Amino acid sequence: MELYELNLRSAAEGLKGKKFSAVELFDACLARAEACEPHVAALITKTAEQGRQQARESDERRAKGETAGSLEGLPVILKDNLCTQGVRTTAASKILGDWRPPYDATAWALLKKAGAVLLGKANMDEFAMGGSCEKSAFGPTHNPHDLTCVPGGSSGGSAASTAAAYVPFALGSDTGGSIRQPAAYCGVYGFKPTYGMVSRYGLISYGSSLDQIGPFARTVEDLHLVMSILSQYDPMDSSCFREKTYDFTPCKDGLKGKKVALVKEFQEFTLDAPIADAMTRTRKVIEDAGAEIVEVGLPVIAKYAVACYYALAMSEAHTNLERYDGVRYGYTVSDAKGIKEMFEEVRTAGFGAEVKRRIIAGTCLTEPTRSDEYYVAATKVRTLIAQEFAKAFGGADFILQPASPTLAPKIGESDVDKMKEYEADLYTLPVNLAGLPGLSFFTGYAESGLPVGLQLIGPRWSDADLLNAGLVLEERLGSPKIACALEGTKGGL
């Protein structure tokens, strides 16, 4: 077994047992990344120098017997909307240019404090706006299971690089499904924590009230480990708070005696056949594990969640993106006639088409004469959605549903019908509207070789319970294999 193939726990144990050094692990991962990158293009920036230096320091610490924490010497890839001090951070946009943040995002600072070393910054849809990782100023990322397919998005680079074993784990962000959908497309586990569980400080905002940082890994247990590090209260983020401290110690009784609900309204919607099959199989597995399958109704969500989500996300996004004016950092022009022209030229050239579309939509939705009808109405619908979920969780511990109605689409296919593209997020975005945790888990492979993922969601702050349920699902459904399109099995390589 190659070092890069190790999952997080095995790699941690190997380092602890001094079977290999952090530098050896880092170099193996970097070599794997370099071999795959020409085909997968999951990274915007590789941090070979800094990362190897961090790995060296980790080895030195370990030699002295003073390990930093439970991620000592373990390489990670961060989505490129997480600020890394001194390391270029782009949010996959031209408008940020060569910006090097003067500070670390709290999530990265916590990983670093626990000993993690940075291998690179992952590609994404520009400012996390998209579900395919094609809308990046740096070009598309390819699905490592089939290079002609998208990895999903917006955290496509994080999902693809975890699936292809550049690293044992990566961080992404999820505003409407941006962790869970690419995890499903790439055949890895992806976790979107409860809103407020992980500090957003240093995450470049898209929809502030919806954004949440979370991990990707190739086992559920590894998600437990990363969450135990990330779930810290942070005074730098006013939406980060605690009802209590949360214990992310894995527990294998996660489904016994639980009620798992299927959503009545969703059953009328069409799913790709492999996903429908996976739903049936998983339902059976859940029952076998000692849980009861029940049904809940989410009529408001089925009907209004998509419109509500896009109204709010775009309204917040357009104000979050007002700061990119070329005055202080990033892309700018030097020959504009006046300040107004400067703003116009910078923003016209700096933003991609999808970002502009959402800025314009957000501007219209909050325009004083329309605001009540759209923006304000959406805030009210959001309250109804949260109430509907709360009611549903009165009669169920978890809800089982797809992470996407389709398997990973071909590159270039998903941008054809805008409304259809937005509607594909129906299974993921209600979770963000209500601030719930959601786990995207692997169920197996379709005949095409593409992975099939599903989603389990729980009430707010049930994060640990959800991951424990995920452990049972992984045990019964099987763990994913490392994506190997490169070895010529799929996609013509």
Partner 1 sequence: MAEELNFTPVIGIEIHIRLKTATKIFCGCSTNTEAAPNTNVCPVCMGLPGSLPRLNIAVVQKGMLAGMALHCTPRQKSLFYRKSYFYPDLPKGHQITQSDLPIMAEGYIEVHDSEGKLKKIRVNHLHVEEDVGSLRHSAADGRLEGAATSFVDYNRSGMPLAEIVSEPDMSSAQEAVEYAMTLQRRVRYAGASEADLDRGMMRFDANVSLKCSDGRWGNRVEVKNMNSFHALEKAIEYEIKRQKKILLQNGEVLRETRHWNDAKGVTTASRAKEFYRKFIVEPDLPPLMIPQEWIDKVAGQMPEMPDEKANRYVKDWNVPQEVADVLTDDRALAEYFEACVAAGAAPVRAANWVRTEVLRVLNEKQISIGDFPIRPEVLAELVKRVDDRRLSTTQGKEVFDHMVEKNCALDEAVKDLGITEGGVGGDALTGTIQAVLQANPDVVEEIKSGKDTKGKKMKFLQGLVMKETKGQARPQEVAEALTKALS
Site for partner 1 in 338-397 (CB under 8 A): 338-340, 343, 363, 366-368, 371, 375, 379
Q: Work out whether 463 is an interface residue with partner 1 (CB under 8 A).
A: no
Letters for 218-237 (x = contact with partner 1 by CB under 8 A, - = none) are -----------------xxx
Query: Of the candidates 80, 221, 325, 425, which one interacts with partner 1 according to CB under 8 A?
Result: 325
Minimum Å gap between C-beta 202 and partner 1 is 4
- The one catalytic residue in 93, 132, 154, 161 is 154
Closer by beta carbon to partner 1, 89 or else 132: 89
Q: Which stretch binds partner 1 (CB under 8 A): 202-210, 216-224, 419-427, 434-442?
A: 202-210
Measure the CA angle with vertex 313, ends 77 and 351; round to 5°: 65
- Backbone φ and ψ of 382, nearest 5°: -60, -40
Q: Tell me if residue 238 is catalytic.
A: no
Q: Work out whether 486 is an interface residue with partner 1 (CB under 8 A).
A: no
Site for partner 1 in 60-119 (CB under 8 A): 81-83, 89, 91, 96, 99, 101-103, 105
176, 152 contact by CB (below 8 A): no
Site for partner 1 in 414-453 (CB under 8 A): none
Total residues binding partner 1 (CB under 8 A): 47
- CA nearest 276: which of 157, 404, 393, 138? 404
Q: Work out whether 205 is an interface residue with partner 1 (CB under 8 A).
A: yes
Query: Of the candidates 22, 117, 186, 203, which one interacts with partner 1 according to CB under 8 A?
Result: 203
Closer by beta carbon to partner 1, 81 or else 178: 81
Minimum Å gap between C-beta 148 and partner 1 is 33
Q: Work out whether 34 is an interface residue with partner 1 (CB under 8 A).
A: no
Minimum Å gap between C-beta 45 and partner 1 is 16
Q: Work out whether 337 is an interface residue with partner 1 (CB under 8 A).
A: no
Q: Work out whether 332 is an interface residue with partner 1 (CB under 8 A).
A: no
Closer by beta carbon to partner 1, 41 or else 128: 128
Q: Which stretch binds partner 1 (CB under 8 A): 6-14, 117-125, 251-259, 336-344?
A: 336-344
Q: Work out whether 169 is an interface residue with partner 1 (CB under 8 A).
A: no
- The one catalytic residue in 132, 178, 228, 231 is 178
CB atoms within 10 A of CB 122: 33
Closer by beta carbon to partner 1, 192 or else 347: 347
- The one catalytic residue in 79, 135, 192, 258 is 79
Query: Of the candidates 156, 168, 202, 470, which one interacts with partner 1 according to CB under 8 A?
Result: 202
Q: Tell me if residue 135 is catalytic.
A: no
Minimum Å gap between C-beta 323 and partner 1 is 5
Minimum Å gap between C-beta 434 and partner 1 is 15
Q: Work out whether 208 is an interface residue with partner 1 (CB under 8 A).
A: yes
Please give, one letter per residue, the 3-state secondary structure of the chain: CCHHHCCHHHHHHHHHCCCCCHHHHHHHHHHHHHHHHHHHCCEEEECHHHHHHHHHHHHHHHHCCCCCCCCCCCEEEEECCECECCECCCCCCHHHCCCCCCCCCHHHHHHHHCCCEEEEEECCCHHHCCCCCCCCCCCCCCECCECCECCCCCCHHHHHHHHCCCCCEEEEEECCCCCHHHHHHHCCEEEECCCCCCCCCCECCCCCCCCEEEEEECCHHHHHHHHHHHCCCCCCCCCCCCCCCCCCCCCCCCCCCCEEEEECHHHHCCCCHHHHHHHHHHHHHHHHCCCEEEEECCHHHHHHHHHHHHHHHHHHHHHHHHHCCCCCCCCCCCCCCCHHHHHHHHHHHHCCHHHHHHHHHHHHHHCCCCCHHHHHHHHHHHHHHHHHHHHHCCCCCEEEEECCCCCCCECCCCCCCHHHHHHHHHHCHHHHHCCCCEEEEEEEECCCCCEEEEEEECCCCCHHHHHHHHHHHHHHHCCCCCCCHHHCCCCCC
Q: Tell me if residue 192 is catalytic.
A: no
Just list the catalytic residues. Answer: 79, 154, 178
Positions that interact with partner 1 (CB under 8 A) = 81-83, 89, 91, 96, 99, 101-103, 105, 200-205, 207-209, 235-239, 315-316, 319, 321-325, 327-329, 338-340, 343, 363, 366-368, 371, 375, 379
